[in-house]
Amino acid sequence: MAAASLLTILLLALSITGSPVEVNNSPITLPIARRLSALNGTINALEQDKARVAAFRLKDYNLKHGSHSIPVANLGTVYYAAVGIGSPATTYYLIVDTGTSNTWIGARTPYVPTSTSVNTNEYVKVTYGAGYFSGTEYADTFDFGNGLTIAQQWIGAATETSGNFGEADGILGLGPVELTQGSLTEDVDILVPTVTDNLHRQGTIHLEVVSISFEPTTSTQSMVNGELTFGGTVRNKHGPITYTPRTTTKPASKYWGIDQSISYGSTTILSSTAGIVDVGTTFIHIATDAYNQYRTLTGGIPDAATGLLLITSTQYGALQNLNFNIGSATFSLTPNGQLWPRILNTYIGGSSNALYLVVNDLGTPSGKGFDFVNGYPFTERFYCVFDTSRSRVGFATTSYTDATTN
């Protein structure tokens, strides 16, 4: 398939059934819903996260050895978007993921070709940290809902999947387009334009930007408590935005990677280094040497049941801010922001009233080109802007930065 034909794709549309969609002008804002995948049981959320982080670090290795490997989202706590595909449309529930870039369906509900479906005759395969999908790329109509439909977005129609994708039908990939390299099995050098690419190319949005905001989790029920905005930001959702260039350090540069340092209170625990920002990672992960300092300074003890650091109420009272020094600004995760939501303690096998910290060991020492993952606890407290047009990532405080809901 010629590379030029790939550029004829239009855009993705996604919606939450029954929810309003802002489509008057660019930017376009859509609600997204958080779901917990095992409400009647427990999951080892930390082990799932570690598998995801390991797959991030091995990205370059896997590409050099003939495998397009990217991490799957932590299925315990993920955000879903409902997308109508085809005409008449079938609704698919896709994981919103900034750590991947291919959009695909078929993990649960199979793809249903309709009159708007075009078989591209391109075969696709993506191997994740624990599992894979393979199938055929189709171009088809995506439906945002409320009458907004877009033609010819490329999607992977999975005919075979391996691994646990929870309740999802697939993934909505919002990562950098470079992550799609190698996913087409016969045209391995071709990049598959992402959803954000196509929105911009077709003039639906003026800037190739996607921004994400969340509210802290206050319930174990599925709830719409996030927003995904294409083409810019929602001004009343954030304060002044600080932008920093995407890092050039590999392997973090493959993703939404940045350079930052981290301090606990006034003590630097991680000097300026490269890592990534990722909404699909449930916890915050930092290099082993930084984690060991954090554990000593907080007094946290690894909990046998959850794997997380456990602290006492006295230690919580003495907890200091965890400061992420990015560009010219410092983004401080408050003591409450460093806690796993207590309402979800039993969900991960913990005690209902225990105090667990969300900062964890990355598993490798600093200096490896991938020394942190600013996961969901970070993105829950700070507005995040992923700007392809200017190759940068932006952050801002929100009304939830200092929330005490955990």
Q: Which active-site residues does the annotation give?
A: 97, 278
* Dist CA 30 CA 126 (whole Å): 27
Say if CB 296 and CB 115 are below 8 A apart.
no
Pairing of strands 359-361, 372-374: unpaired
Which residues lie below 8 Å from residue 71, measured CB to CB, with a gap of 6+? Answer: 51, 52, 53, 54, 55, 56, 99, 100, 128, 129, 280
Q: What is the DSSP string of 148-193?
A: EEEEEEEEEEEEEEES--TT-SEEEE-S-GGGGTT-BSS-TT----
d(CA 359, CA 348): 15
49-to-20, 163, 169 alpha-carbon distances in Å: 32, 15, 20
